[in-house]
Structure 1
Amino acid sequence: SVVCVFDPQSSFNPDETTITIKEVNVNIMGRVDYNQQQVNKWTSSICELSLTQLAKQGKPYKYIVNCAVMQKCGAGLHTANSCYWDTAMDGSCTVRWENRTMYCVVCVFAVAI
Structure 2
Amino acid sequence: MSQSRGSETAEDIQSFSQLKEEANTIVKAAVSRTVGGRANSDEIEYDPKLVQGWIEEINTNTLDKLQQMSQGFKFIVSTTVVQKNGAGIHVSSTCFWEQNTDGNLTFRWENRTMYVIIQVFGLAL
TM-score band, normalised by shorter chain: 0.7 to 0.9
Q: Which runs of 5+ in 2 are unaligned?
A: 1-9, 39-43
Structure 1 position 72, deviation (Å)? 1.4
Aligned to 1:21: 27
Paired residues in the alignment total 107
Which portions of structure 1, spanning 4 or more consecutive aligned residues, are displaced by more than 3 angstroms? none
Note if 1:65 corresponds to 2:65. Answer: no
Structure 1 position 41, deviation (Å)? 0.7
Distance between the aligned counterparts of 1:59 and 1:97, measured in 2? 27
Instruction: Calculate percent identity across the aligned residue pairs.
Output: 36
Distance between the aligned counterparts of 1:108 and 1:58, measured in 2? 14
Aligned to 1:104: 116
Aligned to 1:34: 46
Note if 1:82 corresponds to 2:94. Answer: yes
Aligned to 1:56: 68
Aligned to 1:43: 55
Structure 1 position 98, deviation (Å)? 1.2
Distance between the aligned counterparts of 1:71 and 1:79, measured in 2? 15
Structure 1 position 56, deviation (Å)? 1.3
The structure with more helix, counted as a fraction of residues: 2
Q: Which runs of 5+ in 1 are unaligned?
A: 1-6
The 3-state SS of whatever aligns with 2:76 is: strand
